[in-house]
Structure 1
């Protein structure tokens, strides 16, 4: 019954998630938008760390972890976010319901695992308006970038894993500016559209060392080499009939389309290292640091006068605890309890103010039935941005739900009986 209820809830996430953009934030205007993806729901609950290899879950941030898979895993996740925005001009609130990922992973042999899936990587979703006695300026944007990935992980000898991932990134971003002057009959609307495409790659390592008495040391590292995504850019200039009362365009009087030059968006070198310790299926605690050369980042088809990029750093802490993994008398003793925290320097500076983000999270891994399948819940509170220099500060609360479904045996093990 619990499994059926959770599936219905996740289907609800799916229906509403495809109908909305992922981040209702003014900061999604910059670059390719805000990142939707923080790892699996299980990882998110632990501050986003991706140190562990797991035999029944998919680790999306370190491809080496696919070498640890022992069972086929189907994973789907969605989330709902409530955000409060404050600035010197006032306050407001937004909501967003999204799909986080969809994937299928499986062991090819006892040492090799592969996986593929689709992840909505970034989203652009903002709306802002400036009103004076003489003029109305209205800004909005929609779209984002999706990532289809194929990954493989190999465990050449016990405890040591290597992995690689190739991803095709695709999507479309639309920015719109409307200027309505009280002294002019028609308003002017400019629509900029960028179609994004290109490949990115990720390499990973994981190493586990037994320390005795059941304790283990876990280390991990990833490297995403610099690549460039191609942006095909178009622009439309229009004379429009603008309704100030409805804040919308009532009709188009004249339109002229332009094909702009293609541009490139640099996806910079990104490195991460992680270290942790614990007892398998009992507890784990670890930390991870990520560094990205985002000072090489560029914007799309227009120039930003008040924004710049510097290198970024991300710090993550997290872990889990299972009271009694094999309990047959207490369901809640078999539940996985997760806790984490993160602090992220995005590398984006607006009016010389760093746009940073932090979050604290808690999660539950809920066993489903008699096998290894489980549902995972994550609750996170966080902040993004600042009120300095007239900017916007965001307080958000996020609820995530995933289903991680596994058969009772590896697909490559044949039946003993017909």
Structure 2
């Protein structure tokens, strides 16, 4: 029964997600938008840690994890966000519901695993009004970048795995600005559109070894080399009829295409290192640091005043606890309890203010039935930005839900009987 209920919930999330963008934030205006993806729901509950190899879950952040798979894993996830926005003199709120990922991973032998899937990587979603009764400026943005990936991992010897991932990135981003003045018959609208495409890659390694009979140490590293994404850009300048009552354009008087060249967006070198310790199927605690050369990034086909990029750093702490994964008398003793925290220096500077983000999270891994399938729920509270220099501070609450479904045996093991 619980599995049927969770499937219905995820279908509901999926249906609404296609009608909305992933991050309702003015900071999604910059670059290719805000990152939707923080790893699997299980990772997110532990502050985004991706150190562990797992025999029944997919590790999206480190492809070496595929070498640990022992069962086929189909997973789908969605999330819902409630965001409160605050500036020096205004407040507001937004909501968004999205798909986080859809993937299939499976072992092809005892030491090799592969996986593929689709991830909405970034999103652009904002609507900003400035002005008074005499003049008004409206800024809106929609779109984002999706990532279709294929990955593989291999365990070279006991406890040591390596992996690689190749991804094709694609999407479309549209930005509009409208200038309306009561003294002018028509308003002016500028539209910038970019179609994004290109490949990215990720390499990873994991190593685990026994410290004592009961305790293990886990290490991980990953590297995403610098690549460039191609942006095919279009720009249009229009005279429009703007309704202040509806806050919308109700007619186009004249439109002119403005020639603008295609550009390249640098996806920078990114390095990640993690270390942790624990007892398998009992508990784990660890930390991770990520460094990205985001100072090489630029904005799209138009210049943005008072905005620049510096290198970014991300810090993560987290872990899990399973009271008794073999318990026959208590369901809640078999539940995985996860907790984590993260702090992210995004590298984005606006008015010389660093746009940073932090979050604290808690999650549950709920066993489904007698097999290895489970549902995972994550709750996170966080903040992004600042009210300094006229900027916007965001407080957000997020609920994430995933289904991780596993058959009772690997697909490559033959039936003993017909």
Please name the residue that 2:114 is paired with: 114
Please name the residue that 2:208 is paired with: 208
Please name the residue that 1:296 is paired with: 296
Runs of 5+ in structure 2 lacking a partner? none
Please name the residue that 1:130 is paired with: 130
CA deviation digits over 1:220-251, x for unaligned, max 9?
A: 00000000000000011111111112111110
Moved more, 276-285 or 125-134: 125-134
Inter-partner Cα distance in structure 2 for 1:358 and 1:77: 22
Runs of 5+ in structure 1 lacking a partner? none
Please name the residue that 1:243 is paired with: 243
SS in 1 for 2:11: helix
CA deviation digits over 1:84-131, x for unaligned, max 9?
A: 000012101000000000000000101100000000000000000112
Please name the residue that 1:42 is paired with: 42
CA deviation digits over 1:239-281, x for unaligned, max 9?
A: 1111112111110111122342000110000000000000000
Residue 408 of structure 1 pairs with residue 408 of structure 2? yes
CA deviation digits over 1:61-80, x for unaligned, max 9?
A: 00000000000000000000
SS in 2 for 1:212: coil
CA deviation digits over 1:284-329, x for unaligned, max 9?
A: 0000000000000010000011101000000000000000010111
Inter-partner Cα distance in structure 2 for 1:400 and 1:257: 42
Shift of the alpha carbon at 1:133?
4.1
Equivalent residue runs for 1:261-280 within 5 Å: 261-280=261-280
Inter-partner Cα distance in structure 2 for 1:294 and 1:153: 27
Please name the residue that 1:95 is paired with: 95
Deviating above 4 A after TM superposition, structure 1's stretches of 4 or more consecutive aligned residues are none
Inter-partner Cα distance in structure 2 for 1:265 and 1:14: 30
Shift of the alpha carbon at 1:156?
1.0
Residue 356 of structure 1 pairs with residue 362 of structure 2? no
Inter-partner Cα distance in structure 2 for 1:232 and 1:268: 20
Shift of the alpha carbon at 1:400?
0.2
Please name the residue that 1:33 is paired with: 33
Shift of the alpha carbon at 1:18?
1.1
Inter-partner Cα distance in structure 1 for 2:133 and 2:334: 63
Shift of the alpha carbon at 1:132?
2.7
Please name the residue that 1:329 is paired with: 329
Please name the residue that 2:388 is paired with: 388
Residue 165 of structure 1 pairs with residue 169 of structure 2? no
SS in 2 for 1:27: helix
Please name the residue that 1:369 is paired with: 369
Residue 379 of structure 1 pairs with residue 391 of structure 2? no
Inter-partner Cα distance in structure 2 for 1:405 and 1:379: 21
SS in 2 for 1:218: strand
Inter-partner Cα distance in structure 2 for 1:71 and 1:222: 24
Query: TM-score scaled to structure 2, two decimals?
Result: 0.99
SS in 2 for 1:331: coil
